[in-house]
Every structure is written in structure tokens, then in C-alpha cells.
Structure 1
Amino acid sequence: MAIDWYMDFVDTGYTPGKDELVCLYYFEPAEGIGREEAVGRIASESSTGTWTTLFTLPPRMKDLQATAFQIEGNFAKIAYPLALWEEGNAPQLMSGIAGNIFGMKALANLRLIDVSLPAEYITHFRGPHFGMEGIRKMMKVHGRPLTGAVPKPKIGFSAQEHAEVGYETWMGGFDFVKDDENLTSTPFNRFEDRVKLMAKMRDRAEKETGETKSAFINITAETELMKKRAEFLADYGWNYAMIDVVVAGTAAVSTLRDHCSDLGLAIHAHRAMHAAFDRDQKHGITMQFLAKLMRLIGVAQIHTGTAVGKLAGTKKESLLLANLLREQKTEASGNMLLEQDWGGIKSAFPVSSGGLHPGLVPEVLDIYGIDLVLLVSGGIHGHPDGTRAGATATMQAIEAWSEGITLDEKAGTSHELARALEKWGYYRPK
């Protein structure tokens, strides 16, 4: 009598239907487990299977089984019937394709690389409210990257000090001032105080420059409190809210997407904690899947790395993530990305941040082009002449790239850039 039925979930001759979700996994079987059996166990545990054959199994259950249909080396593709998935429920999707399977003893390692989502599944999600063009129209910025900076140190300033640094950032030509991931509402910098004081400085900067200024103010907290904080932002004329989307979770982000949209707020998604599960190349979940999930839910932008700054990530990975967020149709890329047609889902901005300064700006723009949010923080606040000069130097670096000239050439007529290059040159932080 058979004990298990894992091989029933493997059919290398199977062709997925257009309405099925297809997942790409990297896997390593545990000692003594065959490759096909290991993949069968993934398909089983993530759909209708269990560890043993069952006494009663209605024939219709066969139509709900996941099917492992391609196994090449340590990579496998598994197709999932659409009926397995609740409409518009991102947490339920994660519970299936990224749930119990990571704890199976039959697998030494398992990594969810990507999922191709069918049109019928996507239609139940709203995606970003604005899209890249909507954000550009809102900010009145065209033909260049959007720019922003975190006051540094990223936590420790009073609300007044934070707002003053923000004012200098805006006056240097930047569009945004950004809270960092661990600044919410601390005893020395309460959320409400920061919102009010930043609004006052924003209005002053807008009046003096004639430019639209904004901020990514962190509302991350319990979900109902996040909703109240979003309302407070709207009351003070803000058009953005920032959420630490990984630690908040897909359920909270889904709720805040709709609430923020009703208030006219875009969501800046900080990816704090992502590397806990995506840095290991053999186990966990990839950043490209996280980025895809967040675009599906509806954030306006999410951090994707720099490739040249202080955080891990290659140029290829950064560009792959950027295109995943920006393009209407994503082409498959080897064992890194599956084909995806986004249908009516709008685009989202990639955000490049982490260890940047004016000397690295051209390299980042070579990778991303102009459709990104460029965050340069320590690299403006550490400028020898202060924050405003640092922001100005960064804008001059952007101009040099747009003009097709070197930074050294530009520095000949741009004092702030020249001073930045004197300090940092083309140094890459480690």
C-alpha cells in the first residue's frame, strides 16, 4: 500500500494553462531525496497534498493539484490552478507559494525566485494609484530623476532639527526629504511634531524656489494607527506616506494602499528587513518577487539598490528590478525572472539608495536612466560646505550626466560639485 503520493504532483510533459500561476524555484534536496521527489513535495505541500495517501479523495481534487512541469538542474517550475487562490488576497498567495514549503526536511535549501501571474488573477488587485507619470505630474518634475535625502544621522534629531535639515535639502534643489526606516514617533521626535514642522518648512521652500517639495514621512505602526497617521499627513497637505512594507506585512500594506489612495497619498515603500530572506542565494525569497508583490499591491515606489553604493546587489539585479517595476510587459530572464504582462496595473518607480554621493551619480544613472527616485543622503550632508551645497552638487552631477560631460568637466564651472569631488572623488562605500 502506498504511503505518500508526491510523484503524482510531477508531470514533465504538462503544459500550464494561461490562467495558471507559474512559480520558479531554486531547490536542493536533502540527503537521500531524489530531485523529482523533492519538487513533487514542493508542489504537494503548496497545494492540495499531504504526507500520506488519503482514504477519501474526490476526483475533482485532481484539478486543484499543483503540477511540477519543468526540472532543470536545481531549478523547477510549478504551475498552480487559479482556483487555489482567493481573489485579491496577497497574504494567502504568500501562505501557499512561500509558506510551509520552506520548513520541509526533504529540502536542504529552497528559494522562491519569481511567479508569473495570469491576467485573471491580476485584475483583482489595484496596483499603484498614480503610476510614474502620475507622480511626475504631481511633483512637476520631468526629464530628470526625482531626488531625495534622509537627514543624517537617520535617527536622533529633534523634530525641529529634522525640519531644518529638510529645508536645506529642499533649498539645494531636491524634491523629497525622507524619514528612514527606524524613525516613526520617538520621544525626541514625535510624528505629529515632525509633520507640522516639516510642512512649515516645505511651504517656505516652495515659496522661495517656486518648486514643488514633498517628503516621505514614516507612518509605520499598527494598521489602524497607520491609517490615522496617513489622515494627519493629508491634513497638512502632504502627498506621500512612507511604510516599511516588509515589517508591516502585505495585509497592512494592502489596507493602506486603498486608504492612502482615498486621501491622495502615494506610498513610498522602504524594504527594511528584506535581506533577512533575500540575500541568501540558495534559500528564501528574492527581491524581484518582493518588488513584484509590492507593485501588485500598489506602492508608488520601492528601494531596489544601487549596485555602486554600500548595499549588496549587482548592476544586472538593479536593472532587472527597475524594469520589473517600470515596464508594462516584463520579459523572462534566464533563471532570474519570469515573463509578466501587467495588464492594467500601473508602473512604479525604483528607488536607488545606500552609500551614494555626487561622484557616483553618473554610474547610477547609467544603470537606471532617469525614471527613478535617487536618494543621496550622507553624500549631501557630509559635503564640506553643508547640506544645501551637497544637494546642489548632486543636482550638478545629474546635469553633467544629462549633458554628456564628465563630472570633472562640470566641476570646472560648478563649485559645489568640485568641493564634493575633493572629498569623495569616485569612492565606493563598503
Structure 2
Amino acid sequence: MGRLFATYDLETPTTLERAAEVIAGEQSSGTFLKLPGETDRLKELSGARVERVTATSSSRVPSLPCRISAETYTRGEVVLSWPLENMGTSLPNVLATVAGNLFELADVSALRLTDISFPEEFAVAYPGPAYGRQGTLALAGVRDRPMIGTIIKPSVGLSPAETASLVAKLADGGIDFIKDDELQANGPHCPFEDRLNEVMKVINSHADRTGRKVMYAFNITDELDVMRRNADLLQQAGGTCAMVSLFSLGLTGLSAIRRHIDLPLHCHRNGWGIYSRSPDIGISFPVWQKFWRLAGADHLHVNGIANKFTEADTTVIENARSLDDPLSGERGYQAMPVFSSGQTAVQMEETCRAVGHTDFIYCAGGGIMGHPGGVAGGVASLKQAAEAAVGGIPAHVFAKDHKELSEALDLFGKKDGTGARK
């Protein structure tokens, strides 16, 4: 069997070599003292191995609270590896191995898991995305441009009938994709089954009239038995997408629902700030997305350019591009990036250029609902912005002959022409 490799950004009050050995021991066969059963043979077979240590910087103060005081805190990159025999092809147990009781070790004053490499055995153990980019685009009937999407707002408070009424306006306006907010799942004011029935009446009726079926991501996040039931109802109703909250489900829940449902899984990363706000602790998106893709995520949120949150544009694009990173066996594990958070027609050109392709979902709330031309005008402005980007035409040039795009750039873009949001 192969070996699992993990890369860390480590800071320590001791030395990088000592801290790496402590982590390797803690996360495999060792403890704070040598035990009678911990033979050299056992350590050779089951112990984690320190593959590489590279110092990068130092500081006079620790990045995180640290019990061990030192004159200098050394920082660097550390690569560890484990034999697959330790945990097997089990994503939950891999996570316990590479991100378990190591962040709180006394020898650690900062630690962030920045990369992971899965051996080929995981390609057999996990199915990966069922649809991914190309399957999603084919199911939605979209070609050669991003999918234009939006979120049901208000997040909560609308009844099933009110939700369906909004969906009708969005469908008539030409939208490709609609999703429940992560806060809307199966509450008493808008039960899942009632919302499903009301919304699918609208979507199916619109499809019968136009031949185009809007993809709606229904939030099925719940206890696993309820999720399975609602997933079955979703498929029976003719739905084409299910949404889940990744950190609520965990890896076991995600892989279980992947195996149960034959629809794209739209995966929301709500709670992401816990892992992303500090550069000194946590797990990076390029690592998480590999776990999620193996477990079956078809769509993954990556935030958006000029977003309302804290992630820099460079980080957003790096995260989106990381969805192309090779995985175990590379068996078509391409997940679809989902851009959202304060997106309008203004950011479309830069997003297409930075990502390098148009196989993504571009979700806009105010960028659609707040357009002077209403929903239809907002959707048209985004499609026009995408058409300009695909054709290599600057948005402001294309807008001269496209009213909806022109109105969007005037409303949402800065007057200095930088293209950033107001």
C-alpha cells in the first residue's frame, strides 16, 4: 500500500526538527515517553516519517499563545508521511491523522495544514463527484459560458408558496441556477417537502413551456435518515440538484449522501472563517477541497472577487484553481467552482480571465435583484458580461450596444473605471 503525505506551515519555540518529530510521534505510534510495546520494528512499520524540514523565518514572539517560552520562534515548512496501513482508505480517519491532536501541542506556536497527497487506493474507495463540471452543465443545458445563479432571499421567512413565486420570476427572467440559502433547510415555517412540491411545480411548468429546466439546489442538510428521505423525494419530484452544508455533515455524511443520491451535490462551506481567518492555525482550502472532492462534492463555494468577506481576490482565485489539482488516480474528480458574495456583472470579466475557463457557477443576489431592469435585466447583464469575456471584448466596450450590461456597470462599478465594487 502507498503512503499519505501532508505539508504543514509550522512555527515552534523549540526547533523545527524536534517539533516535526513530536508531531510525527503524536500522530502515529508515539506518546510523551517510550512504551514497552513501542519497538523499533513497530515504529519502522507504523510510525510517521519526517520527509522534509525547511526553515523560512523566525520571530521574537509566538504567533499563537504558547506554553513554552523562547527567545526565538522558528517557522518553516514540514512534510510528514504515514503508511496507509495505519488508517486505511477512510477519509474521517485520515483527517484524524493529519489534523488531530497536533494543533494544541506545546511544541507548536503556529500550525497550518497546507497540502495533502492521497495514494491511488483512494480512487477505488471513493466515487468522487458524480457530475462535476461537465455533467452539471449538460444537465442544466448551458454551454460555452458560466451558469448564472442566485440565492433565495430573504434567507428565511418566506413560505413555500412565496418561495415558489420568487422562483417563477427568476425562471421567467432567464436564470440557470437557484439555491436555497444555507439557513433554509426544513424548518416549521417552510418545511422541505412543501417547499419542494411548490417550487418543482413552477420549475416543471416552466420547463414544459420553454424546454429549459432551471436547476434548483434544495438544501437537504439534516440528520442522515431525514436527508436520505428528502433526497428520495427530490429525485421523485424531478429535481436536478441537492445542496448540503459541508461542516454540518462532515465527511461521513457527505460520502453517505453521495452514494445515496444520483444528482449533483452543491456543497456550501458555511463556517469557513473558522479555518481561514488566521494564517497561523487551521486547514487550508486546497486541503479541504481534496477531501470534499473525494467524498463526492460536485460544486464547491470559493467566495468571489471583490467579495463582502475577508478573503483576498488572489486567495479566491487560487482556491478556485485548486479544484483542478490532481487527486488519487485522477478519475474525473473535477468539481465546479461556485462564485458568490457581492457578485455583479462588474466582476465577471476578471473572474473568467483569472480562472481560465467558464465552467463555473456565478451567483449574484443584489447583482440580479437590484438591477434597474429587474430580474430579467440583472440576468441579461450577467450573460452579456460573460459573452463579452468569452469573446475577449472589454465589458465597457461591449456595454455600448447592450443596455442591461451598461446599466449594471453604471450602477455597480466605480466611476473611475477600475471595475471594483462600490
Q: Is TM > 0.5 for Structure 1 vs Structure 2?
A: yes
How do residues 244-259 of structure 1 correspond to structure 2 at under 5 angstroms? 244-259=245-260
Matches within 5 A, 1:189-228: 189-228=190-229
Q: After the TM superposition, which of the residue ranges 66-75 and 121-130 deviates more from structure 2?
A: 121-130
**Structure 1 gap ranges (5+):** 1-17, 330-339
Task: Report if aligned partners of 1:178, 1:217 keep a CA contact under 8 Å in 2.
Answer: yes
Equivalent in the alignment of 1:418:
406
AA in 2 matched with 1:55 = P
Q: Contact 2:26 / 2:102 at 8 angstroms: preserved in 1?
A: yes
SS at the partner of 1:216? strand
The equivalent of 1:120 in structure 2 is 121
Residue 155 of structure 2 is matched in structure 1 by 154
- Residue in structure 2 matched with residue 9 of structure 1 by the alignment: none
Residues paired across the two proteins, number: 396
1:43 counterpart = 2:49: no
Which one of the candidate residues 363, 381, 394 is aligned to 1:375? 363
Q: What SS does the aligned partner of 2:323 have?
A: helix
Structure 1 counterpart of 2:82, one-letter code:
Y
Structure 1 residues 281 and 135 mapped into 2: Cα distance closer, same or farther (>3 Å)? Answer: same
Does residue 66 in structure 1 map to residue 48 in structure 2? Answer: yes
Quote how far apart the aligned CAs of 1:182 are: 0.9
- Specify the code of the residue in structure 1 equivalent to 2:161: Q
Check whether the contact 1:152–1:381 (CA below 8 A) recurs between aligned residues. no
1:15-414 correspondence to structure 2 within 5 Å: 19-29=2-12, 31=13, 33-58=14-39, 59-73=41-55, 74-87=76-89, 89-260=90-261, 264-326=262-324, 329=326, 340=327, 342-368=329-355, 369-414=357-402
More deviation, 125-134/200-209: 200-209
CA distance in 2, matches of 1:365, 1:79: 37
Q: Which amino acid letter does the alignment assign opposite residue 30 of structure 2?
A: G
Equivalent residues of 1:308, 1:363 under 8 A apart: no
TM-superposition CA deviations, 1:273-319 (whole Å, max 9, x none): 12212221110111111111110111111001223222333444333
Q: Distance in 2 between matches of 1:197 and 1:146?
A: 23
1 CA distance for matches of 2:410 and 2:208?
Answer: 33
In 2, Cα distance between equivalents of 1:410 and 1:96: 52
Distance 1:69 1:266 in 2: 38
The 3-state SS of whatever aligns with 1:118 is coil
Inter-partner Cα distance in structure 1 for 2:202 and 2:399: 30
Q: Please, what TM-score do these two structures have when normalized by structure 2?
A: 0.89
CA distance in 1, matches of 2:252, 2:228: 13
Separation in 1, partners of 2:270, 2:216:
18
- The alignment partner of 1:76 has SS state of strand
Partner residue in 1 for 2:61: none
User: What's the CA shift string for 1:330-381, capped at 9, x where partnerless?
Assistant: xxxxxxxxxx554324311111111101122111111222011111122111
* Closer/same/farther in 2, CA of residues 209 and 395 from structure 1, 3 Å limit: farther
Give distance in 2, aligned partners of 1:161 and 1:384.
23
Give the Cα–Cα distance (whole angstroms) in 2 for the partners of residues 398 and 171 of structure 1.
20
Q: CA RMSD in A?
A: 1.9
Q: Please list the CA deviations of residues 152-203 of structure 1 after superposition, one character each: whole Å capped at 9, or x if unmatched.
A: 2322222222222222222222211111111112233221121111111112
| CA deviations over 1:62-99 (Å, ceiling 9, x no partner) | 21110112111211000111111222x21111111111
In 2, the alpha carbon distance for the partners of 1:184 and 1:51 equals 45
Distance 1:403 1:429, change over 3 A: closer
Counterpart CA distance in 1 for 2:165 and 2:193 is 16
Give the conservation status (yes or no) of the 8 Å contact 2:217–2:243. yes
Residues 1:265 and 1:164: Cα distance change in structure 2 (over 3 Å): same
Which stretch of structure 1 is more off in the superposition, 264-273 or 396-405?
396-405
CA distance in 2: counterparts of 1:429 and 1:226, whole angstroms: 38
- Per the alignment, in what secondary structure is the counterpart of residue 304 of structure 1? strand
- What one-letter code is carried by the residue in structure 2 that aligns with 1:381? M
**2:102 is paired with a residue of what secondary structure?**
helix
Deviates more, 1:138-147 or 1:63-72: 138-147
3-state secondary structure, aligned to 2:109 = strand
